[in-house]
Amino acid sequence: MKCVRFILAGAAAVTCVLAAFAAQSATIETVVVTASPPDPVGNDAFSVATIGTADLHAVTELDHALEQVPGLSLFRRDSSLSANPTTQGVSLRSIAPSGAGRALVTLDGVPQNDPFGGWVIWSSLPPEDISSAQIVRGAGAGPYGAGALTGVIALDEARGDGLVAADASLAALGGKRVAASGGTSLGPISLFASASDEDSNGWIPVSPAQRGAADDHVTLHARNASLRAEAMPWFGTLVSLRLGAYGENRDSGLVGAKSSADGVTASLTLAHPESADSLGYRLQAWLRNTGFSNTSVSVGNLRASTSLTNDQYSTPALGWGFNAAVRGSLPWLDWEVGGDARFTQGESKEHFSHPAAVFTQGRVSGGRTAVGGLYAEGASRFDGWLLTAGLRADQWASTGGHLIQTALATGIVSVNQRYPAKSGIVPTARLGVRREFDDGFYLRSAAYAGFRAPTLNELYRPFRLANNITEANPGLTPEKLYGAEVGFGQAAESFGWDVTGFYNQLHSAITNVTIAHCPSLVCPIVVPGVGTISGTGLLIQRRNAGNVDAYGVESEAHWQARDWLGFNIAFDYVDAHVRGGIAAPQLTGKRPAQAPRFTLTGGLRLTPVERLSITANLRYESTRFTDDQNTLPLAPATTIDARISWRLWDGLSAYLAGDNLFNANVATTESSDPIPIVSLAAPRVWRAGISWTE
């Protein structure tokens, strides 16, 4: 509550400042500037994909829209409609997906990754609030900073006066959704707000042939709201204040397994555009105050029952930071220098050990992390050439790590571990070159390095999921990625295409490594502070498990065949293998868990008559493995989504949409039982509603 009062007080103060400068701002010529950071000076030299407003607003989950970029996925195949928040980390290029995510997600430059676990609460980002998404593949480094390991997903918030976007719909599986965004002006102050509320009664994610009394529905109730106030009180400088709040509750597919996530966010941005006679600059401060809870259960024989094993009843976390940049131009050089810093602190508070329907042990684990750096980047354009280079250096630190275990009945502390601080400096860089030809054809090449520091969750929190135990590892160090790529293509509105070949090497990859498997001669396995493994359980630990080598090719093309007919197609092929070294020799030669080799997406846009529009999207994905040992394969999966929309009048349409139109069984994970239990993503879901687009 202190944080909320602080945010509200800050909003009032900034609003007063904006109003005080109203008279001055009225005499200044209007300048087009937003809180979104401008593209990096040499962005065209890198592999970039953009998803526009129409494609974003055609779906109800933002991560579902982003999946049209091959190789972009959450840790597992399920979307945020059913995925537990701890598996909603997003990665690019299918190199090695992770629950914490290996891509940085930003909204108008503000990191959206959770301060405790690195995942993204996608329900807090309704598509109606987003105008575009730019996906930069390859290590971001430069102006993006830590976390941009396999790339960056840069979201721009929508803008406009009046109602900008809205959706009201009913769906199968008890789905209900309403969302809207829009803006207005109060004198010199522009206001923009968005809100959404969504419910789904979900489905049982196990086939009827395998399910038992232990299985339950995956459900969702999510809501969020945000408000942005902007003005230009002096000399063309934009002042933007954004406040947001979100919350979601889920049933997780097993009786007694539930989760919830909530948070408040705030950011303050000052932005001044570069002009012929002045430098541009941008200052931004941000805050994320989040909470998370999760209950875990073990599954009995024949899936006849569940037993509560863990109650992560509270996980307060705070993330905050700032970034600053100055941009200018010389006759032969566009340049930018800047820096940023990010800080997190948080704890997981849990009850565990549940032998007689009563928890007997309590555990608190957590700590603090910090990362900050400085960068410089420049780009030179001449005779159709673009040359760009950037350097960056960051210092990271993990401090205050602790794990305290207490007997709930007596309050006696049985475990009190304090972990030593760790820190280091990581230099990164990126280079790029692009050559443009008269007919739109281009060649480009790039090399880059980036890093991701371990999250509080990976460093300090052990947990149990069903019959498996995963240990934390306070000795984790940042994982780094080095890569190079060559691309060529043709940029044109009617027909454009791009082909990119790349080699990426992920060093010290943070991986869940299986270190023991029941049944075995040493079972049961007792893990102090966590629990006991027996039956078919696994003992897993997070480790910096060697390197991942990934060779790949990605391609995309779009064709506007007629004014009323358009196509797009894209694919990626990634040959990724682990070199486990001494940390995990058993993984050498294996594919990373949850990493498909081949992904294909395609789309159709059809407007046969003026009021009628039809869209369809396909996604195919080859076999992936649910485990690091590559013993639990998940079959290939193909899904097709379609939407038919009839424009009632300007801006307002009625639509019917079907996700997973042919009701394909899409496997998301597989248990290690003698007869493996396969979990499934959403079946076919019909949705009918009305929508408004500006």
Reported as a single tens digit per residue, the pLDDT across 120-160 is 999 999 999 999 999 999 987 789 988 999 999 999 999 99
How many structural domains is the chain composed of?
1
pLDDT confidence band for 513 (50 / 70 / 90): confident
pLDDT at 463: 79
Give mean pLDDT, residues 4-24.
39
CA dist 690 and 667 (Å) reads 32
- Asked whether the predicted pLDDT for residue 106 surpasses 90, the reply is yes
Strands (E), 204-257: 215-234, 237-254
672, 536 contact by CB (below 8 A): yes
275, 141 contact by CB (below 8 A): no
Residues 594-626: tens digit of each pLDDT: 999 999 999 999 999 999 999 999 999 999 999
pLDDT confidence band for 18 (50 / 70 / 90): very low
Structural domain range at position 663: 2-184+195-693
Phi-psi region of 151 (alpha: psi -120 to 50; beta: other; left: phi over 0): left
Query: % helix / strand / coil in the chain, to the nearest 5?
Result: 10, 60, 35
pLDDT at 536: 60
- What is the pairing mode between strands 468-471 and 479-490? unpaired
**Mean pLDDT (the chain, rounded):** 90
Provide the β-strand partners of residue 508. Answer: none
- Look at 216-230, 465-479, 567-581, 652-666 and tell me which has the smallest mean pLDDT: 465-479
pLDDT at 145: 86
CA dist 250 and 252 (Å) reads 6
Q: What is the DSSP letter of 522?
A: T
Give mean pLDDT, residues 391-417.
95
Q: What is the CATH number of the domain that holds 556?
A: 2.40.170.20
CA dist 165 and 691 (Å) reads 7
Kindly report whether the peptide bond that precedes residue 524 is cis, defined as omega within 30 degrees of 0.
Answer: yes
Handedness of CA 244, 68, 222, 150 (dihedral sign): negative
- Asked whether the predicted pLDDT for residue 353 surpasses 90, the reply is no
- Look at 3-7, 237-241, 337-341, 492-496 and tell me which has the smallest mean pLDDT: 3-7
Q: Is residue 418 part of a domain?
A: yes
Kindly report whether the peptide bond that precedes residue 273 is cis, defined as omega within 30 degrees of 0.
Answer: no
pLDDT at 5: 41
- Asked whether the predicted pLDDT for residue 253 surpasses 70, the reply is yes
- What is the pairing mode between strands 598-609 and 175-186? unpaired
pLDDT at 582: 83
Q: Is residue 189 part of a domain?
A: no
pLDDT confidence band for 512 (50 / 70 / 90): confident
51, 133 contact by CB (below 8 A): yes
pLDDT confidence band for 527 (50 / 70 / 90): low
Q: Is residue 320 part of a domain?
A: yes
- The size of the chain, in residues, is 694
CA dist 223 and 199 (Å) reads 9
**Element of type H or E holding 584:** none
Q: Is residue 268 part of a domain?
A: yes
Q: Is residue 115 part of a domain?
A: yes
Q: Is residue 586 part of a domain?
A: yes
- Asked whether the predicted pLDDT for residue 539 surpasses 80, the reply is no
CA dist 275 and 271 (Å) reads 13
Residue pointed to by tokens 């609030």: 129
